[in-house]
């Protein structure tokens, strides 16, 4: 027996605000970001992993995580 789950409900972007909104807008445009990325300063994001956690857990955004090397340090790069 196979169980089918309905597709994800639409994201209510009206409830997004501040850092979460700026990060969502950045990612939904097809860009990627990690903790050393120059966009962190531009977006005024303090803790990237916390903002991504908010988007995933509070708003249901499906964010992809990929481990990459940046200056001999392994970091998580986020994208949609």
Position 7 confidence tier, pLDDT thresholds 50, 70, 90:
very low
Q: What pTM does this model have?
A: 0.79
- Give the pLDDT of residue 63: 94
- In the chain, the DSSP E strands lie at 64-70, 73-79
Task: For residue 55, give its domain range.
Answer: 16-79
Count of domains observed in the chain: 1
Q: Tell me, what CATH number does 40's domain have? A: 1.10.10
In a domain, residue 5? The reply is no
Distances in Å between the alpha carbon of 15 and those of 3, 37, 54?
31, 26, 12
CA distance 58 to 78: 17
What is the per-residue pLDDT across 12-69, written as a single tens digit (0 to 9) for each?
666 778 899 999 999 999 999 999 999 999 999 989 999 999 999 988 899 999 999 9
């Amino acid at each position: 027996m196979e169980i089918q789950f309905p597709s994800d409900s639409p994201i209510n972007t009206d409830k997004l605000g501040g850092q979460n909104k700026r990060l969502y807008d950045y990612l939904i445009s097809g860009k990627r970001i990690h903790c050393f990325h120059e966009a962190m300063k531009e977006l005024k994001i303090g803790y990237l992993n916390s903002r991504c956690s908010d988007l995933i857990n509070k708003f249901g955004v499906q964010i992809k995580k990929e481990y990459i090397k940046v200056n001999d340090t392994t970091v998580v790069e986020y994208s949609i």
